[in-house]
Structure formats: C-alpha cells, structure tokens
Amino acid sequence: MTAAQLPPVAPEVTATLVEGLSPRLRKRLDASVTKLGSRPTHREGDTVTIAVDDETELRLHAPGGVVATADAITCGCLLAPACVHRAAAACAAPAAALTQELADRPTRAVPGHASATDPSPAPESASTPEVASPAQRAASDALWSAGAAVLEAGVDGAGAVTQSALLRAAHTARLRHLPRAAGAALSVVTLLRAARAGDPSYRTADLVTALAELLGTAHRVGTASGADLAAVIGRARRPYSPDGSLRLYGLFTEPVVTDSGHGGVRTWVAASDGRLCTVGDVAPGGVGRALGVADRAVRLGDSALTHRELGRAGLAVSGATVSPDGRLGAGKGVKAVTARGAAWTEVPLAALWETPPSEQAARALRSTSRYGDPERGGSDLLFLDVELLGAVRESGGICLLALCEGGVSVRLTAADEDPALAHRDNLMLLATAPGTRLRVIGRLVPAPHPRLILLACSHPTGEGTVDLGLDRLRRADLPDPAAPAHPAPPRPGGPGAHSPLHLLERRVEQTVPAGRAALGMLGDVSAETRRIRRAGLPTAAGLLTALCASAAQRDRDPFGRLRPADTDDFAIHWLSAARYTAAVAESLCAAAWEPTQEGSAAEPAVADR
C-alpha cells in the first residue's frame, strides 16, 4: 500500500484520532503506520479497504473523494474504535487540502489550493482589519509552536504525533481565516511524510523552504498590519478579476505532474501587450493523464482547440477573468473563439525575447521569491536566444550548456526525468548539436550561476516550435553533427560561484533532518565564520555563530538536571539564517545573469544585503 492508494484525510480528522489515543498507543503509532503501509488495499466505489490481518479489515469511506469525519474510518478489531489502526490509517493517507480546489503548480511541486479552471471568480472577502484578532494571534502562536517542535525534533523525530499537532494547528488557522499559514503547515506535513517514507522526489531544500515559510508567516501575523497583514493572511481561494476582451497568442504547452498523483497540462499564452496567461487542466491521473490531456480540447469558451494546438494558435476571448498569477478563468460568461496565432519572431511575441536576460532574471526573482507574497503574480519564465555549446556533467546528472546575450553561459536542465515525458531525451539529443542557435523558453532556477529549466524551443530546422515535454525531436531534425563544438567550462561561473554562503546554508539544512541536536554537537565553528567574514559576509558569520550557540544552549536546574530546551529562541535564530541565505542567494542569482564584463564587479554589491 502507498499513500497514493488511500483517499485524502481532512487534517482535523487525523488530529482528532491521534489525540484520542492513549499514551501507550501513541508510542506505537509510527510503527503501526509503517506496518499498515505493507498491507494490501482494495477500492470499491468511495470506500478503500485495508486488510490489517487475515481476519481484520480497516475501511476508509470517502464520499466526494475526501475522508471528512472520524466516523468515516472504521476498524474491525476488538479494540475499535479506540484502536491504533484508525489513527495509523489517517496518518498514512495524504492530508486533504484545506479547500476543495485543485492545484496547478510546476512539475513535481507540492500541490497548492486553487484551480486554473475555477468556474467563477472568487468573491472578495470582507476588508482586512488593521491588526490580527486575538483568535488569529492565538492560532498563529499554535502554528509557531508546532513548527518549532518539528525543527527541534527534525525529520527523524517528527513522527505521526508531531505531525498531528501541526495538522490541528493548520485546521485551527483555517477556521481563524489564516489560509496562507495553514497551507504552509500542510506543505510541511506532506514533505515530512515524503522524507520519512524515503520518497525519491523529496529534497531537504524543499522542507527548509516550507518550514521557513510556516515559521515566518506565523511570526508575522502578530506584528503585521494593514496591507502587510492582508499579504500574510493570504486568500483561501484564488481571486479572478474581470479583464474584458483579450487577444491571446499561444506560446507552448508543458506537462504538469505533481507528487500527489495529479497530472495534466498548462498552456502558456501571451496577450497583445505581452502579458503572460495560462490555461490549465490538472486532475488525478499522474503522467499518463498529462500525456492524454494534451490532445483534449481547452476548457475555455467555445474553442475547439486542443492544448497542443493552442500552444501554436490564438484565441479571441470576451468576458475574460484572470487571477493575479495570470490563470484564465473558465466561467459561464467567458466566450472564446479560435484566432490566428503568431510565430515567436512576429509581433507581439518577438518582444518577449528583446528584454535583456539580466532584466528578465531580476523580474522572475521578484515574482517568485521563496518567501514573497504569493498573490503578487508574475512569471518565472525567461525568453532567450542561445547558442548550444554541449553537455556538461554535474553531480546530479548531465545538463546542456548554452551561451546567451552578453556572453553569459547558461545551464539548461530537463524539467522532469520521467521517461514517459520527452524532456530528458530531447535535452540529450540537443546536446549532440553544438553550435546550433535556438530561441528557447525556460523556467528560472535560483542558483549562484545562470540556470534554466528548458521547456520549449524553436525547431532546429527553423520551422515551428517544440514543446520539449510532449514533442520528441529526431536526429534528422538536427543540423550537421560535424558543426564546430565549443569547449564547455568545467564549472559554472558567475559572482556567486565561489561564495562561502554554502557554509551557512549547510547548517540550516542540517537542522531539518536531524533536529537541533545535530547543531548542538558541532562545537567550535570559528574556522567557518572566519572564512565567511573574509568573503565579505559578516552578517552570515554572525548568524552562524548565533545559530550554533543557540542549538548548544541548555540550562540546568539547581540539582544539575537539564532544563527543557528553549525551542522559541532556536527557531528564531534558524528562521533568521534561512531567510538571510535565501535573500543573498537570490541576489547572487540576479548578479550571475549580468553580462560577463560586469560580473566581476557585481559580487561586492550583493555580497551581504
């Protein structure tokens, strides 16, 4: 049995079942979750049955696809309903989103809480108060405490009981109208479960970002006011605003596959003024559905275009509704008919490639900052004219090196490694054609060197475009393989290539898997802090010293016994270090995209903001 085979369980249901266990059963809960994961399951309609043993069955009833009440989980053992099996099943199942709307995020991302095909614009909520209410501050305090407990224990110690406390705090935050903080808590729980289950797609950096978002948002609820408070609170549903009539031109279509088992596509289009919009179709089904949906009709007005066709054609839309991040609504009042598209070299699409790469990178960083306002909108896409240089081997695999305007070397990577998608095969084939000039579209990867996830490109023959996740190139499409090759540099360049910021980043990430104890046993870190200071990062050196000192700080009572650790103090120091490293990393990323003749002078300007 895997988590994907079980229906999502509402956070409050999991928390209620875990809280109802006796202390003895709570100690056995993690082992029971692991044991239950090896048992066979059977689905019939809205009910999933798990064979606990040869004589006992556990049932999860999920009308509408979600287990919404504790009574919907029943067990046939003698100790039911006070048995550990019900709570173990809830902890093994995915946590249901706090709203019923479907996510539509980039490939392999943690699902969000809204759909690009919302049937109607979300109603505007009441005006946000100047300061948070006492109930909201209490809910944010509970989220802070639960997040600090995760940081204290680390992945290894954050079992089902710790996760249930976080789910309870998330449910309370949702009831107190704090959707952004509640969503961050659910993301932490999802990533914790992936880490403990050994999910190959799990990355420690993702959990660091989610945990810092949770702690930072919870901390700001009590101090923010006015517009800042509105950003911290967030929105339970994505708002769609009327946008009148739009003339849209297709750019490309990308497959979307999420870790929760959802699959589909997202088609990018541009308005006449250069604004980017998306039309998506994502639902349960994984990579198989992503490949199939590409050839289905777009759910927008009366258009009969498929997603693949829209990526190369156009639409005339009346009564359009658009969310802040550019997603087109598909309400009843929206009318759309097929229109002529435009080549990437024609107006208005050609203008997207005229902006210098450094300006595009800075814009993408502003709109997709790790801890920025999720409602700010914007796109992380870059539009570049490049010359392919060849393949470069990295610790994580092979990427494609290219040269763009200003002499900047860019590393192009595949959006998804799944062999059912064409990303990896197309990238490897393009790597065999150095000297080829292409017009490409990619997603910015924040890194101390220029890096891009390759999504679409002009066809090597100059005829049309290629959706690199869906269309497969052939060797016959490439120019003469005897074309002159350019030597690929062995290491990425850029202002941040040799920055010692990784010394602080490593300690921030080291805390997440093993908890506070991992830093408390480090001892003297003066050698690392001296190296950081010599690089012109005194703030980073101070943060590292304070973080390690806070981790090792344990007071004793008059009898020599250790007092309980101050989790709040350590969480504050860890959060400060995490937010600082993210801000400096984004600055270094922006500087790395500057033309090479300016690159050497860029580092001092961004070294220690």
SS3 readout for 398-435? EEEEEEEHHHEEEEEEECCCCCCCCHHHHHHHHCCCCC
> Given this model, what pLDDT does residue 240 score?
79
Burial of 136 (0-12, 13-18, 19+ CB in 10 A): buried
| Residue 117 pLDDT class (50, 70, 90 cuts) | very low
Q: Could you report the per-residue pLDDT of 381-423, keeping only the tens digit for each?
A: 999 999 999 888 887 678 899 999 878 999 999 998 889 999 9
Same CATH fold assignment for domains 241-350 and 355-477: yes
- Over 60: is that where the pLDDT of 103 sits? no
Q: Which residues pair with 409 in a beta bridge?
A: 403
Dihedral sign, Cα of residue 481, residue 483, residue 485, residue 486: negative
Indicate the pairing of strand 451-458 with strand 465-467: antiparallel
Task: Tell me the two tokens of residue 532.
Answer: 């950081």
Asked if 17 contacts 29 with a C-beta cutoff of 8 angstroms, the reply is no
User: Which of 14 and 227 is assigned the larger pLDDT?
Assistant: 14
Task: Tell me the two tokens of residue 434.
Answer: 């150095």
Based on C-alpha coordinates, what's the Rg of the chain?
25
Q: Which residues pair with 241 in a beta bridge?
A: 322
Lowest mean pLDDT among 42-46, 388-392, 605-609: 605-609
Q: Which CA distances in Å does 134 have to 128, 141, 216, 344, 367? A: 14, 10, 18, 54, 32
Q: Which residues pair with 251 in a beta bridge?
A: none
Task: List Cβ neighbours of 18 (8 Å cut-off, separation of 6 or more).
Answer: 26, 29, 87, 90, 91, 160, 161, 164
Q: Could you report the per-residue pLDDT of 467-506, keeping only the tens digit for each?
A: 999 999 998 888 765 545 545 554 455 555 567 888 999 9
Give the C-alpha separation, 458 to 562, whole Å. 65
Give the C-alpha separation, 433 to 26, whole Å. 59
| Residue 111 pLDDT class (50, 70, 90 cuts) | very low
Asked if 229 contacts 222 with a C-beta cutoff of 8 angstroms, the reply is no
Give the C-alpha separation, 312 to 342, whole Å. 7
In the block, tokens 């309870």 appear at 168
If DSSP codes are grouped into helix, strand and coil, which group holds residue 318?
Answer: strand
Give the C-alpha separation, 162 to 182, whole Å. 16
Average pLDDT over residues 127-141: 86
> Given this model, what pLDDT does residue 372 score?
64
Please give the mean pLDDT across all residues of the chain: 85
Asked if 267 contacts 143 with a C-beta cutoff of 8 angstroms, the reply is no
> By percentage, how much of the chain surpasses pLDDT 90?
54
> Given this model, what pLDDT does residue 128 score?
57
Task: List Cβ neighbours of 85 (8 Å cut-off, separation of 6 or more).
Answer: 32, 36, 52, 56, 58, 75, 77
User: Which of 448 and 530 is assigned the larger pLDDT?
Assistant: 530
Task: List Cβ neighbours of 463 (8 Å cut-off, separation of 6 or more).
Answer: none
Average pLDDT over residues 2-23: 88
Average pLDDT over residues 2-15: 85
Give the C-alpha separation, 359 to 406, whole Å. 12
Question: Phi/psi of residue 266, each to 5°?
Answer: -135, 125
Give the C-alpha separation, 96 to 12, whole Å. 10
Q: Which CA distances in Å does 183 have to 180, 374, 545? A: 5, 12, 32
**Which amino acid appears at position 416 of this protein?**
D
What spatial distance separates the first Cα and last Cα of the chain, rounded to whole Å?
48
> Given this model, what pLDDT does residue 329 score?
87
Q: Which CA distances in Å does 213 have to 526, 578, 583? A: 29, 10, 13
Domain boundaries defined on the chain? 3-92, 134-233, 241-350, 355-477, 501-606
**Fold (CATH) for 241-350:** OB fold (Dihydrolipoamide Acetyltransferase, E2P) (2.40.50)
> Given this model, what pLDDT does residue 490 score?
47
> Given this model, what pLDDT does residue 480 score?
67
| 539 membership: H or E segment, kind and range | helix 538-552
pTM over the 0.85 mark: no
Give the C-alpha separation, 43 to 473, whole Å. 40
Lowest mean pLDDT among 96-105, 178-187, 222-231: 96-105
H helix runs in 474-537, sequence order = 501-514, 516-520, 526-534
> Given this model, what pLDDT does residue 605 score?
35
Give the C-alpha separation, 412 to 378, whole Å. 22
Task: Please state which CATH number belongs to domain 355-477.
Answer: 2.40.50
If DSSP codes are grouped into helix, strand and coil, which group holds residue 102?
Answer: coil
Q: Could you report the per-residue pLDDT of 296-320, keeping only the tens digit for each?
A: 999 887 788 999 999 999 999 999 8
> Given this model, what pLDDT does residue 414 score?
93
Q: Could you report the per-residue pLDDT of 195-233, keeping only the tens digit for each?
A: 998 887 788 988 999 999 999 999 999 888 888 888 888
If DSSP codes are grouped into helix, strand and coil, which group holds residue 34?
Answer: helix
DSSP string, 165-181: HHHHHHHHHHHTT-HHH
H helix runs in 274-371, sequence order = 286-293, 307-310, 357-367
Helix axes 84-92, 11-19, angle to 10 degrees: 150
Task: Tell me the two tokens of residue 30.
Answer: 């993690």
> Given this model, what pLDDT does residue 303 score?
81
| Residue 163 pLDDT class (50, 70, 90 cuts) | very high
Interior/surface letters 67-92, b for 16+ CB within 10 angstroms, e for the rest: bbebebbbbebeeeeebbbbbbbbbb
Asked if 184 contacts 213 with a C-beta cutoff of 8 angstroms, the reply is yes
